[in-house]
Structure 1
Amino acid sequence: MSVEVVLPGVLADLTGGAKHLHVDGGGTLGALLDAVAAEHPRLDRRIRDEAGALRRFVNVYVDGDDVRFTGGLDAAVPDGAVVQVLPSVAGG
């Protein structure tokens, strides 16, 4: 199973500049993030908190669907999916 993880520049800094990660593994978002964490632990700490839950200021989409409404870490991530990770932006 191969999944593409798309990151904005602010998070790509934690992957050596890569904005697109091709990750083998998944099935669920949690399993996919475990695979990402094995290669990029600093990125994982920006996406998940100490308990392993998604941080509330990070939005994650699987093929355009917000995982907050499709199961969170249990959201299905099919083969060939595109997972987009976007930190919330605040201020003005």
Structure 2
Amino acid sequence: MAIEVRIPTILRTYTDGQKAVEGSGATIDELFADLESRHAGIRERLVDGGELRRFVNVYLNDEDVRFLDGIGTELTDGDNVTILPAVAGGSAAYTGSAGRH
């Protein structure tokens, strides 16, 4: 079973700079274990205590796995998994360089 996994820039040091890697597994958790076997250290950045880390978003074919079965979400051959770091920040008071609201 081949699953394409898209890797964010911040984690590409674990994949030798590759933007996408192939993995296998019946679930997201098994996929992450498979990735760990070839890209040591990556799983620790994605999972904590058996759950996705708070600031990591994982999408299966554009669907957030948190709204499916989390790391227990089942996979099928040809699926696409995208890993994205959560992005936060900004301020309601920010006016930008032009001074506009």
TM above 0.5, yes or no, is: yes
Stretches of 4+ aligned residues off by more than 2 angstroms: none
Q: Which has the higher contact order (CA 8 A, sep 6+)?
A: 1
Identify the residue that residue 44 of structure 2 maps to in structure 1: 45
The Cα shift of 1:41 comes to 2.4
Identity of matched residues, %: 41
Q: Which runs of 5+ in 2 are unaligned?
A: 91-101
The Cα shift of 1:80 comes to 0.5
Name the structure where strand makes up a greater proportion of residues.
Answer: 1
Cα distance in 2 for partners of 1:41, 1:48 equals 13
Q: Aligned AA for 2:30?
A: A
Q: Over aligned residue pairs, what C-alpha RMSD do you find?
A: 1.1
> Is 1:60 aligned to 2:58, yes or no?
yes
Q: Give runs of aligned pairs for residues 19-38 of structure 1, distance below 5 A.
A: 19-23=19-23, 25-38=24-37
Q: Which has the larger radius of gyration?
A: 2
1:18-49: per-residue Cα shift (whole Å, max 9, x none)?
110011x2111111111011111221111112
Q: Aligned AA for 2:10?
A: V
Name the structure where helix makes up a greater proportion of residues.
Answer: 1
1:17 alignment partner, SS class: coil
